Amino acid sequence: MAAGFSNTLRRRCHKKSFRLCQTVGGVGKTTLTVNLAYQLAKQDKTVAMFGLDPNGSLTLFCGLDDPPPEQTMDHVLRSDFDGKYPLFPVWRDRIDGVDACLGGLPLTETSQRLVLDKRGSYLLADALEDHPLPHDFVLIDCPGTIEHLHVAALSASTDVLITLKPEDKDMDAMAKLLEWISATRTELRLRPTPKIMGVVPNGAKNRAMHRDNLGLSNMQGLPDIMRHMQIQLFPTLKDSAYIANAAAAGLPLGLYRSGDPSNQIYKKIANTIAEEM
């Protein structure tokens, strides 16, 4: 949330680290990352986006070229990391304060290496503790399926944001993801415990399944489930060609189409993040 989820570590360097994660691939996690980074920058906050996805979606959505392996997150996730984060400035001709440390194919080998490293689960947390970034927030864009990169991201986070489409399979996957987060937090003995900041429904269409799962058909849906679990449910982002077109152009929606109503939802989430400082 992820996505994921920078107090970059409240327990370590007094910034906020958000792990933005998703239940399955293609539900808008990277889109959420770049739009939250932009909205926070509009509030004069500085943001570092970390791309932990081997697909390298963050690179595309930021309008950047694929970096060499030594200038990706693979460099950061090494036991001998020297603190020189390979950060690339993003959208500097339009707004200040946003940088990105990119993922990509090198992370496929990174994930395997983390399993064998005695500190593999904590390498990202170690990097942020030993070499604090000057940014106000770190947004960690996670892969679409749970693996060891997710573990490293969770250990480095203070909060988790989950985005999902209002599909039956996504609802089921979210339940399993929440169980995994709870079990992994306990297993790693993370203190303070990264909390679930909220859930962001994304890509909603005028379909019976979506209406039912969003609680719009007088049926139990996400609002009731989140209320019972005491997890904040953010407003729903509707399926939009403008959001997709902005991502393809390497821009946040706020720079691509500033008057689009979805920007108000991104702003609301960003305000919630900023208030957590």
How far, in Å, CA of 56 to CA of 104, rounded?
Answer: 4
Maximum distance among all Cα pairs of the chain, rounded to whole angstroms: 55
Give the total residue count for the chain. 277
Give residue-wise pLDDT tens across range 236-247: 999 999 999 999
Q: Write phi, then psi, for 267 (nearest 5 degrees).
A: -65, -40
pLDDT at 26: 66
pLDDT at 19: 63
- Interval 132-155 mean pLDDT: 95
**Is a pLDDT exceeding 60 seen at residue 197?**
yes
Closest to 3 measured CA to CA, from 25, 12, 73, 16 = 25
Cα dist from 32 to 27, 38, 183, whole Å: 10, 10, 25
- Calculate the average pLDDT of the chain: 91
Is the pTM value of this prediction over 0.85? yes
Of the pLDDT bands very low, low, confident and very high (cuts 50, 70, 90), residue 9 is: very low
Look at residue 155 and give its three-state secondary structure.
Answer: helix
Cα three-residue angle 29-34-38, rounded to 5 degrees: 145
Of the pLDDT bands very low, low, confident and very high (cuts 50, 70, 90), residue 161 is: very high
Burial of 186 (0-12, 13-18, 19+ CB in 10 A): exposed
Domain locations in the chain as residue ranges: 16-275
Residue 21 CA, chain-centre distance (Å), reads 5
Pinpoint the alpha helices (H) of 117-167. Answer: 123-130, 148-155
Of the pLDDT bands very low, low, confident and very high (cuts 50, 70, 90), residue 217 is: confident
Lowest mean pLDDT among 25-34, 42-51, 74-83, 178-187: 25-34
Whether 140 and 29 have beta carbons less than 8 Å apart is answered as no
Pair type for strands 88-89 and 98-101? antiparallel
Lowest mean pLDDT among 6-10, 50-54, 91-95, 194-198: 6-10
Q: Does 3.30.160.250 match the CATH number of domain 16-275?
A: no
Cα dist from 157 to 72, 90, 151, whole Å: 19, 22, 10
pLDDT at 276: 83
Q: Does an H or E element contain 18, and which? A: strand 16-22
The structure tokens listed for 202 are 């994304």
Provide the angle, in degrees to the nearest 10, between the axes of the packed helices 148-155 and 168-188. 60
